[in-house]
Amino acid sequence: MDLSTVMASPSYAKAADAYKKAVATAATVTAYTVLARGMARELVPDGLRSAARWAVSAVGDLLMPPPKPRRIKTILIGRYGEESHAENRLFWDARAYLAARIDPTAMSRLCLTFRDDSQMLSMLPGDSVADVFEGVEFTWTLIAARSGPPCTLVLSFDAEKTEVALHRYVPFIVMKMEGARRQERWLKIFMNEQLSWEGINHQHPATFDTVAMDPALKQSIIADIDRFLKRRDYYQRIGKAWKRGYLLYGPPGTGKSSLVAAIANYLCFNLYDLDLSRVSSNKGLQKLLTAMPNKSILVIEDIDCCFSTKSRDGTNTKQRTNYGDGDSDSDSESDGLPPPPRTNSSYERQRRIALSGLLNFIDGLWSTSGEERIIVFTTNYKDRLDPALLRPGRMDMHIYMGCCGWEAFKTLARNYFLLDDHELFPEIQELLSAVEVTPAEATEMLLRSEDVDVALQGFVEFLQDKKKQGRRRSKK
């Protein structure tokens, strides 16, 4: 049908009439646009419409400047840090992130690994994977090192998008993987076997929600950690190692280890549990400390036993550590360390040198890393510690983990029975103010029955017994 025939038809005249009325009453630009589109669709014949579209795009092509050649920027993310042999966490984060973006049907070859009880796909050297973030295309390529296995990930993108890449895309990947780790709550705990770290996966359930302690103290620890993490620039400006030290002290079974796990879970940092009795020289210690990656927590438990002649149960034990200004620099000197001097004063002197030496040593090693580190010492006997360790500025926060108070008990009741109130609560509150019981004892009592009434009744009887025993002891 030609154009004149179409325009002469009664249906065309009817539609045109309707549009004329609508245009006359349309109030906004948007309304006009919608109407114009509709009119074009209904009133202009197909052939004429596609010819018009072709003409518009041809004119557009003539007027548009030719596309600029793309400048590509690349960022290399090595498996290890530049100056140390510590693993580069971004490398592993990016690999784990890309695992979910690999399309196995589109790749001709893939690497399949089994890690943390789940399988992970990754690419092989020479292969690439594309990803789009905020509309920007990023290409990841894995390249092999010239010699040996360590690989490097190459991230390439349009150079104009450098800001997006560095300040939004990379932090997004790090945050996403941190979130995933937090959800899985897989902590890795490393222990030193002589001069190297052996890691095990450990799903420690402790979090700040489950650790029973004074709520104000708990909040102040969380606030301290958060503040510390935000102060990278501050530490750099004042020229200090970006490190925070926590000394946890209190009787056995009050939750010191649980708090360490809660801190690690909160931060998604792995734990490095250093057994100083297995380290016999500065060189060995240096090797272990430099092999610790960023974002990790160094834990030295029962620090009083490492530097004193008394063991936890009070019996005498040989002092085996010798860090600091000491000259035990060779690994071969391992077990040949001299026993502590017999006289008290010279022994004290050696002990002081040893502990402050250890801290100086750690400060020195970590001051160059520029990354956040946390060190936690635990002890059941704060009074046995070297005053050098207790001096302000040595350990930043001293945290006392004490007996189970009322608030701590409420946390346990909520964790174990999802319970916020019970008829026995007033009696328990009164008994807890009169009796000293550790959170470990309380949890043990609560675990004795799944029936909340039975468990709480048992706990009340346990507290009453303790109270009676206390009275008897004070009479004697």
Residue ranges in contact with ligand ATP by CB under 6 A: 210-213, 252-258, 380, 401, 439-440, 443
Dist CA 412 CA 440 (whole Å): 10
Smallest distance, Å, CB 278 to ligand ATP? 18
Q: 């200090």: which residue's tokens?
A: 240
Stated length of the chain: 476
The residues, any chain, with a CB within 8 Å of residue 160's CB and separated by 6 or more, are 71
Closest CA to 319 of 276, 362, 378: 276
Smallest distance, Å, CB 229 to ligand ATP? 24
Smallest distance, Å, CB 372 to ligand ATP? 24
Dist CA 95 CA 90 (whole Å): 8
Q: What does the radius of gyration of the chain's CA atoms come to, in whole angstroms?
A: 34
SS (H, E, C) 369-405: CCCCEEEEEEECCHHHCCHHHHCCCCCCEEEECCCCC
Closest CA to 159 of 69, 272, 266: 69
Q: Which is nearer to ligand ATP, 139 or 415 (CB)?
A: 415
**Pairing mode of beta strands 118-122, 397-400:** unpaired
Smallest distance, Å, CB 254 to ligand ATP? 4
CA dihedral 256→260→266→267, nearest 10 degrees, is: 150
Would you give the end-to-end CA distance of the chain in angstroms?
A: 118
Closest CA to 279 of 244, 318, 245, 323: 323
Q: Which is nearer to ligand ATP, 211 or 431 (CB)?
A: 211
Smallest distance, Å, CB 243 to ligand ATP? 22
Closest CA to 362 of 320, 301, 299: 299
Smallest distance, Å, CB 260 to ligand ATP? 8
Cα–Cα distance list, 164 to 74, 158, 169 (Å) = 13, 10, 6
Q: Which is nearer to ligand ATP, 181 or 218 (CB)?
A: 218
Q: Which is nearer to ligand ATP, 151 or 212 (CB)?
A: 212
Q: Which is nearer to ligand ATP, 222 or 291 (CB)?
A: 222
DSSP annotation of 330 reads: -
**Pairing mode of beta strands 270-273, 296-300:** parallel
Q: Which is nearer to ligand ATP, 367 or 443 (CB)?
A: 443
DSSP annotation of 105 reads: T
Burial of 306 (0-12, 13-18, 19+ CB in 10 A): buried
Smallest distance, Å, CB 439 to ligand ATP? 3
Smallest distance, Å, CB 440 to ligand ATP? 3
Q: 């108070």: which residue's tokens?
A: 405
Smallest distance, Å, CB 367 to ligand ATP? 30
Q: Which is nearer to ligand ATP, 253 or 324 (CB)?
A: 253
Smallest distance, Å, CB 414 to ligand ATP? 11
